[in-house]
Homo-oligomer: A and B are copies of this chain.
Amino acid sequence: METRLDLVFAALSDPTRRAILTMLLEDDMAVTDVAEPFEMSLAAISKHLTILSRAGLIAQEKRGRVKWCKLDPGALREASVWMQGFGQFEPVNLDAFERFLEEELRDDSL
């Protein structure tokens, strides 16, 4: 069973996809415009966008023949919350912390 977290971290592990997210931070963009600065085919970028979309990191909306991509930081926040468990919390109360995270994430996803 592939969890949301799997998809998010896998999506983030590719530098092209991280670059796309950074671009979208400035503004929503059409697929063709997202592809422009990269030295790879439009089809490849289209695949990257699908991966970002399935991970919940972006949302895509088609208007006319143009598909607009916008950042959707919900899933990213989810991953961020998971990661902050390390570094901030020392050995104590790990089980409790995990339960706490689950509750937080459940609330966010609604």
Task: For the complex formed, measure the closest distance between the CB of A76 and the CB atoms of chain B, giving whole angstroms.
Answer: 5
Whether, in the assembled complex, A93 has its beta carbon less than 8 Å from a beta carbon of chain B, the answer is: yes
Whether, in the assembled complex, A103 has its beta carbon less than 8 Å from a beta carbon of chain B, the answer is: yes
Residues of B within 8 Å of A45, CB to CB, are: none
- Expressed in whole angstroms, the Cα–Cα distance for A76 and B79 within the complex equals 11
- Expressed in whole angstroms, the Cα–Cα distance for A21 and B96 within the complex equals 16
Whether, in the assembled complex, A64 has its beta carbon less than 8 Å from a beta carbon of chain B, the answer is: no
Task: For the complex formed, measure the closest distance between the CB of A38 and the CB atoms of chain B, giving whole angstroms.
Answer: 16
Q: Is the CB of A91 within 8 A of B25?
A: yes
Given A21-B86, A96-B104, A104-B96, does the pair A91, B12 have CB atoms closer than 8 Å?
no
Taking A5-B12, A77-B86, A96-B104 as given, write out 14 further A-B residue pairs in contact, using a Cβ cutoff of 8 Å, ordered by the A residue number. Answer: A3-B15, A5-B18, A6-B14, A9-B10, A10-B13, A21-B86, A26-B94, A27-B91, A71-B87, A73-B86, A81-B89, A88-B94, A93-B101, A99-B100
